Amino acid sequence: MIKKVYIKTFGCQMNEYDSQRILSIFEESGYDRTDDPEEADFAVINTCSVREKPKEKVKSEIGRLKRFKNSNPYFKIAIAGCVAQEDGEAILKENKSVDLVIGTDGIPKLYEAIFRVEKGERLAITEFYHDDFTVPIFNRNSSVSAFVTIMKGCDNFCSYCIVPYVRGREKSRHYKEILDEVKFLVDNGVREVTFLGQNVNSYGKTLDEKINFTQFLYMATQIVGLNRIRFVTSHPKDFNKDLVDLVASESKICEYLHLPLQAGSNDILKKMNRGYTFEEYEEKISYAKEKIKGLALSSDFIVGFPGETDEDFEQTLKAVNEIEYETIFAFKYSPRPGTKASSMPDNISDVEKANRLKKLLDAQQIITDKLLKRQIGEIQEILVEGKSKKDTNVYSGRNRKNRIVNFTSEKSLQNGEIVKVKITQAKKNSLFGNLEVS
């Protein structure tokens, strides 16, 4: 009988990418994928520790999964990702039902680990590997859009952030290896890639060859059959004009930038160790808005950082109103063990953090509504990603600004097609339209 593996992924897109790598190693070890944990023989929880209550989430997942051990004595549980990296062996000690703990750098060790766990061992693999960061080509569920990790780790040490501790030092992947992966994906039907890194603007710094992110992106635009390129995350301090100029001139690179500001107050930005002032950020944004036609912006924000006063928070609101992002992701500050900010008094009450978060999201919703309404009447380029289950004449895809667009079409369309859609309605967070028949 074929063994089955189930995976549950928390957190960022890099974790999604790692989950696909993990699944492909299980496949090579004789497992089929399943979305139903009940029929699985191995369950993997790929964890995230960036924000609130990660450990509680992992505990409740373990609680949910361990009952399957009663009906299947061979059922194994693995904890992967950032919580695994952070807590290592302790997870095995505290949770008798966990068989394997595998940290963020441990994926290449998984072949051996699966074999040993199947034989009854319990183990934790949490070393960091400092040699080159390479990822061999792997199989994944083909879709029209794919994430491709181009670097790992982070050296920025923003004072609130656990990533440098759980993902280790920054290391870039060799550009030839990445481009080969993209070509492989394109040969398998992928039309859009999103390049991933904690700070893509410093891509190449750890490589022997002299190459920077802009040069790398240009090479990616030359791949035949690839229609769209996106990237996250740009760090404002390293984001430069060369990159803006390339986005402006290369039609394959989507006019969408995620540039996390985090806070509008210079005092808070300093305490966060972000390496830029609001004015410096604003100058870069103005240049990008001026150069890139139809640019959509998005950002991350943290509210209630230690010492954030009402005035500081007002600066964040002001920044959001001034810059007019199409989307923001905002979070209540949550102290992460071992980070510099965790030794600053977390002096904003949870109620106050929640108030500020609501105010910020309400202000943003007004802007999102306005920016989406403005797109009514436009003819947009949509990458078809699927069909509505409810209405067979309704398709779903994304525009170049990464916004979901649902649209009607009398004509039958294939996933991966790029079509023109006339936008007729703006919903809360998506757009609606009709296929433009030429």
Task: Please state the closest distance from residue 154 (CB atom) to ligand SF4, in A.
Answer: 3
Is 159 an interacting residue with respect to ligand SF4 (CB under 6 A)?
no
Tell me the H-state helices in 89-212.
Answer: 89-94, 110-118, 163-166, 175-187
- Residues of 27-53 as b/e, b for ≥16 C-beta within 10 angstroms? eebebeebeebeebbbbbbbbbbbeee
Task: Please state the closest distance from residue 267 (CB atom) to ligand 5AD, in A.
Answer: 17
In whole angstroms, what is the distance from residue 21 CA to residue 150 CA? 14
C-alpha separations of 208 from 171, 248, 325, 331 in Å: 11, 29, 37, 38
> Cα–chain-centroid distance for residue 239?
18
Which has the closest alpha carbon to 379: 433, 319, 418, 331? Answer: 433
Which has the closest alpha carbon to 134: 19, 12, 21, 231? Answer: 21
Which listed range, 83-91, 151-159, 220-228, 278-286, lies at the site for ligand SF4 (CB under 6 A)? 151-159
Interacting partner of 401 out of ligand SF4, ligand 5AD, none (Cβ under 5 to 8 A depending on kind): none
Residues in the interface with ligand SF4 (CB under 6 A) total 10
Site string (333-362) toward ligand 5AD, x via CB under 6 A: xx-x--------------------------
Contact 5, 23 (CB under 8 A): yes
Side chain identity at 256, as an amino acid letter? Y
161 or 431: whose CB is closer to ligand SF4?
Answer: 161
Is 157 an interacting residue with respect to ligand SF4 (CB under 6 A)?
yes
Site string (290-329) toward ligand 5AD, x via CB under 6 A: ----------x-x---------------------------
Sequence-distant (6+) residues with CB within 8 A of 80 are: 18, 22, 44, 45, 46, 47, 101, 102, 103, 106, 107
Task: Please state the closest distance from residue 18 (CB atom) to ligand SF4, in A.
Answer: 15
Interacting partner of 278 out of ligand SF4, ligand 5AD, none (Cβ under 5 to 8 A depending on kind): none
Site for ligand SF4 in 184-223 (CB under 6 A): 198-199
Side chain identity at 302, as an amino acid letter? I
The CB density around residue 171, as the number of other CB atoms within 10 Å, is 22
Site for ligand 5AD in 129-188 (CB under 6 A): 160-161
Burial label, 14 (beta-carbon count in 10 A; 0-12, 13-18, 19+): buried
Which listed range, 331-339, 343-351, 367-375, 383-391, lies at the site for ligand 5AD (CB under 6 A)? 331-339
* Element holding 147 (H helix, E strand): strand 145-149
Is 172 an interacting residue with respect to ligand SF4 (CB under 6 A)?
no
Interacting partner of 164 out of ligand SF4, ligand 5AD, none (Cβ under 5 to 8 A depending on kind): ligand SF4
Binding site for ligand SF4 (CB under 6 A): 154, 156-158, 161, 163-164, 198-199, 235
Binding site for ligand 5AD (CB under 6 A): 50-51, 160-161, 260, 262, 300, 302, 331, 333-334, 336
